[in-house]
Amino acid sequence: MCAQKTQDLEVKIFPPQSLGSFEMGRNDVNVICTYGKIAVWFGRKVPDYIIAQVLLGISKVDPSTVHEFEIICDFDDITEYESKGYTLVSYGKTSGGYRVNYSIPFSSKKALFHLSKFIVEELRRGDVRKDFYWNGSDCDIQRLYQEFRSNIESWELKAINYKTEPQSSR
């Protein structure tokens, strides 16, 4: 059981069955949490400070969270991304440069700052979807909801889905 229970969430989050997904947000940002992933949709008109609050909130609840992305760039640009706090995972020569995979650690405020700038740039072209990988439990999901609800105006619970146990065959 979680040490941080609130009465309005206790019944919703802690039934006998396992949590499948937990959806929360507001009209310009939506977050769906599962045990392995946090899927975030940022609407085109979301203010930049809300993007920062979402990233920092996730970092506060689970600093081991990461975002993975791939880019094709010149060899000299590889170290530029590393200087932003991104962790180089792999790279290889391809047509047009180098295909590079990075992991962005949520334990690095510098990396989160650059990720938020990148998201703001992407929003100029339309809505943005990002997946963040974590080891969240029911308690972590509840803590994340409380973190957002306390720090982001108009934050609300949207949906809770529970895992259905498969029927055993006789």
pLDDT digits (tens, 9 = 90+) for 138-149: 889 999 999 999
Query: What single DSSP character describes residue 144?
Result: H
pLDDT of res. 59: 98
pLDDT digits (tens, 9 = 90+) for 61-111: 999 999 999 999 999 999 999 999 999 999 999 999 999 999 999 999 999
Query: pLDDT at residue 113 above 60?
Result: yes
pLDDT of res. 162: 86
pLDDT of res. 75: 95
The arithmetic mean of pLDDT across residues 35-49, rounded, is 97
pLDDT range class, residue 165, cuts 50, 70, 90: low
What three-state secondary structure class fits 168? Answer: coil
User: 81 vs 53, 55, 131, 165, CA distance in Å?
Assistant: 22, 18, 19, 44
CB atoms within 10 A of CB 107: 13
pLDDT digits (tens, 9 = 90+) for 10-37: 445 555 667 889 999 999 999 999 999 9
Domain spans in the chain, listed from the N-terminal domain onward: 21-65+106-161, 68-104
CB atoms within 10 A of CB 149: 17
